[in-house]
Amino acid sequence: MNSNYKNLLSPFTFPVSGIKIASRTVMAPMTTFSGNEDGTTNDAEVAYYRERNESAGLLITACAYVIRHGKGFHGQIGADSDELIPSLRRIADAMKANGNKAVLQIYHGGRMSPPEELVDGQSLCASAVAAEREGAAVPREMTVTEIEETIVAFGEATRRAIEAGFNGVEIHGANTYLLQQFFSPHSNRRTDKWGGDLIKRMTFPLAVVDAVKKAVALSAHPFLVGYRISPEEMENPGIKMDDTLALVEALSKKKLDYLHVSVMDFWAGSMRDQKDTVARALKIVEKVGHILPVIGVGGAHTPEDVERILAAKISSVAMGRELLMEPHWLTKVKNNEVDQIITELDVNTQELLNIPTPLWNGLMSRSGWMPMKK
Ligand SMILES: Cc1cc2nc3c(=O)[nH]c(=O)nc-3n(C[C@H](O)[C@H](O)[C@H](O)COP(=O)(O)O)c2cc1C
């Protein structure tokens, strides 16, 4: 065992479920674009997860839609019907095969759903306000019935995750998708109980948390519930850090196992206020870290990067892109093979890395996504 990285190699017990992970590292949720049209997984995607099942102590899946109308990506897996439980089980089994813990990320795309992925071509949102992106479709405002159905769907997806053998769910409240859209003053202009001031804009995300927790309470097994947030939005009006601090305070009263702060660079300060250079996750830890463990993410590659973040009272550190290019990250740290950790993607190694072709093509087509080996 490598004694240089004591923090990252130490176990962590989540406070509510009591579930223990053997290392304070996390595989970040990453969409693979590689599932089947009917929302099931396939051999290539399962092999991708199996390859990475020793990459970190906690392994989070790509986001899975909880209701067909929330599908956000081509090749996305679903958790919206009981028929998909065997497929979800294949992923959970592959992830857990070496003793690490598996979490299903549950999701609704809202206005970010590409119309061509939806049965009727019409995306939904809190309000009929298009995202500020070129060519963004104008969503339809959700009816109260649709809101209530979606809340139920998050609870049902949780039940399926439990039945499929996952150790937990992560509620995707980040990255501009539906839960964030309800919290955002940009996309939520409602005047009923689901919108309005800051507190009223929390109503939908908090109702989703309650539905998920209710499903968990019905299970006899310990089961993790985490929540992912994006701390800020660029839009005006848009989510500001103070809004987020109020949201995390409300979330901290919901008996969650963790909060996952989604940013691309952990140490970056505010994207709305250049003068504010304090890492946003640190402000969140300051506010709620004593009751709600915070997972940090964004730009960690080496064990030194992870240790530096852990030293800032972050409970565990997630890595996304790094574990695409280095599926055996944690094993190499444990075995004193840190100098062999790959931190640049070699364009000839798709097969070796067991990366399904749609994800691989995505990585190849977006310059700047990954450090590439020249
Ligand atoms: C290919 C790819 C797919 C992603 N898909 C998801 C996703 O399904 N859900 C999510 O919350 N974040 C997703 N993310 C964001 C990552 O979880 C992570 O927050 C981000 O990549 C920053 O961490 P990193 O610097 O360690 O890669 C994705 C990132 C990448 C690169």
Over residues 301-341, the pLDDT tens digits come to 999 999 999 999 999 999 999 999 999 999 999 999 999 99
Q: What is the pLDDT of residues 37-53, one digit of tens each?
A: 999 999 999 999 999 99
Residue nearest to atom 30 of ligand 1 (CA): 30
pLDDT in tens, 181-230: 999 999 999 999 999 999 999 999 999 999 999 999 999 999 999 999 99
Mean pLDDT of 343-355: 96
Identify the band that residue 3 occupies on the pLDDT scale cut at 50, 70 and 90: confident
The SS3 of residue 331 is helix
| pLDDT interval class at 1 (50, 70, 90) | low
Half-sphere exposure of 96 (CA within 13 A, CB side): 15
Question: Residue 260, Cβ neighbours under 10 Å: how many?
Answer: 27
Q: For residue 93, is pLDDT > 90? A: yes
Kindly give the number of the ligand 1 atom that is closest to the alpha carbon of 370: 31
CA distance 143 to 24: 41
Residue 373 has pLDDT above 90, yes or no: no
| Overall average pLDDT of the 108-114 stretch | 98
Helix 85-96 with 43-51: angle, nearest 10 deg: 30
- Residue 121, class by beta-carbon neighbours within 10 Å (0-12 exposed, 13-18 middle, 19+ buried)? exposed
pTM: 0.98
Q: Is the CB of 322 under 6 A from ligand 1?
A: yes
Residue 349 scores a pLDDT above 90: yes
Give the catalytic positions in this structure. Answer: 177
Q: Is the CB of 62 under 6 A from ligand 1?
A: yes
Distances, alpha carbon 184 to alpha carbons 52, 141, 205, in Å: 34, 14, 11
SS3 of 287, please?
helix
Q: Are the beta carbons of 252 and 288 closer than 8 angstroms? A: yes
Number of H helices, E strands in the chain: 12, 12
Distances (CA, A) of 141 to 17, 149, 326, 344: 36, 14, 42, 43
CA of 143 to the centre of ligand 1 (A): 30
Helices assigned H by DSSP within the chain? 43-51, 85-96, 144-164, 178-183, 203-217, 241-251, 280-288, 303-310, 321-325, 329-334, 350-353, 357-365
Q: Helices 203-217 and 241-251 sit at what angle, rounded to 10 degrees?
A: 30
Q: 186 Cβ partners below 8 Å, 6+ apart? A: 129, 132, 233, 235, 236, 237, 238, 239
Q: How far is the CA of 30 from the centre of ligand 1 (A)?
A: 5
Per-residue CA distances from 165 to 15, 23, 104, 231 (Å): 20, 21, 10, 31
> Which of 27, 31, 49, 359 for a ligand 1 pocket mutation test, highest count of atoms within 8 Å of Cβ?
31
With contact defined as beta carbons under 8 Å apart, do 262 and 228 qualify? yes
Half-sphere exposure of 148 (CA within 13 A, CB side): 4
